[in-house]
A = this chain, B = another copy of it.
Amino acid sequence: MFFHRQELQHQAKPDKPDAVFARKLQEVLGGQYGEITVAMQYGFQAWNTHLPGKYRDLLYGIGAEEFGHVEILATMIAQLLEKAPVGATEKAIQDDPTVAAIIGGMDVQHAIVAGAGARPVDSNGNPWSGAYVTASGNLLADFTANANAEMQGRLQVARLYHMTDDHGVKDLLGFLLARDTMHQNQWMAAAKELQEEGHELFPVPSNFPLANEDRDVSYQYINFSNGPLASEGSWASGPTPDGKGEFTYVAEPPAGVPMPPPTVPDPRLYGTSPVPNTAEKVTSKIKDVLHKD
């Protein structure tokens, strides 16, 4: 169960309206790595997890905070839009390049669709998508996904930090940056603990019997481009991070196997055939097929 309290975890007061920045802020609200994504992702991971106890508590504990971040950003966006220049006409645009620029740079759906409100979309107006969520039931994979989400998220907030000089906005971004710092650290700690306790190891999934994979190529760097320098990395020689092998470098991919011949499916799919394939032949083939179909 979720309970709501009419407070914000951190204040969200811009110094002044800024419809252009409101649009940009949509990225960290409703983008691929925005707050809706992490809120939903931690939720689904918690609901799908097979582990009771501290890991599940962690997912629930942070997930609910992220829903609060969705709210903070939506609130901030609504305020940045509160005095947006709605009535921009052709004349206004011609008279005042600044008005024109704001109209050009703002998300016009903020005005037309939401009446100066926030929307569940990214900074280009793409609606948030459930396809952004990762919740596989394998916690080492999912915690890595979470660490990535927090890195991408913090990176985007850091970029936004320099696109405004509004102290109220910067104050909120500074708070979000700090929480992303925390969450990056915490998913890395959790991924490490999961391994130390033996719940999961690399390569994920660690309980798949390795004998079933083609071990000959499990640690080969096979170079399909012509840059030789990748051979100098720690991924091309020496022990592998999973502790189970030794990297080798293969400068030229070995010869492959011939492609199988093109398929020849049922004539009733009317693909183009290698030999002239007249309607008469098809009719006759169909009759044959129908006898046994």
Whether B137 pairs with A114 at a CB distance below 8 angstroms is yes
Chain B proximity mask over A43-83: 1 for CB below 8 Å, otherwise 0: 11001111111111110111111011011001100110111
Whether A281 pairs with B115 at a CB distance below 8 angstroms is no
Whether A207 pairs with B267 at a CB distance below 8 angstroms is yes
* Interface residue ranges of A116-165 to B (CB < 8 Å): 116-141, 144-145, 147-148, 151-152, 154-156, 158-165
Taken together as a complex, chains A and B put the C-alpha atoms of A256 and B4 apart, in Å, by 12
CB distance from A98 to the nearest CB of B (A): 5
Measured CB to CB, the nearest residue on chain B to A131 is B127
Whether B174 pairs with A212 at a CB distance below 8 angstroms is yes
- Complex contacts, A257 vs chain B, CB 8 Å: 7-8, 10-11
- Complex contacts, A259 vs chain B, CB 8 Å: 6-8, 75
- Complex contacts, A81 vs chain B, CB 8 Å: 263, 265
Whether A159 pairs with B270 at a CB distance below 8 angstroms is yes
Taken together as a complex, chains A and B put the C-alpha atoms of A1 and B124 apart, in Å, by 27
Whether B131 pairs with A4 at a CB distance below 8 angstroms is no
Whether A44 pairs with B74 at a CB distance below 8 angstroms is yes
Whether B233 pairs with A71 at a CB distance below 8 angstroms is no
- Complex contacts, A124 vs chain B, CB 8 Å: 107-109, 121, 124-126
Taken together as a complex, chains A and B put the C-alpha atoms of A115 and B57 apart, in Å, by 20
* Interface residue ranges of A201-219 to B (CB < 8 Å): 202-210, 212-219
Please judge, given known A-B contacts A1-B71, A138-B270, A166-B90, whether A220 and B182 are in contact too, CB under 8 Å: yes
Chain B proximity mask over A229-258: 1 for CB below 8 Å, otherwise 0: 111111100001110010100000101111
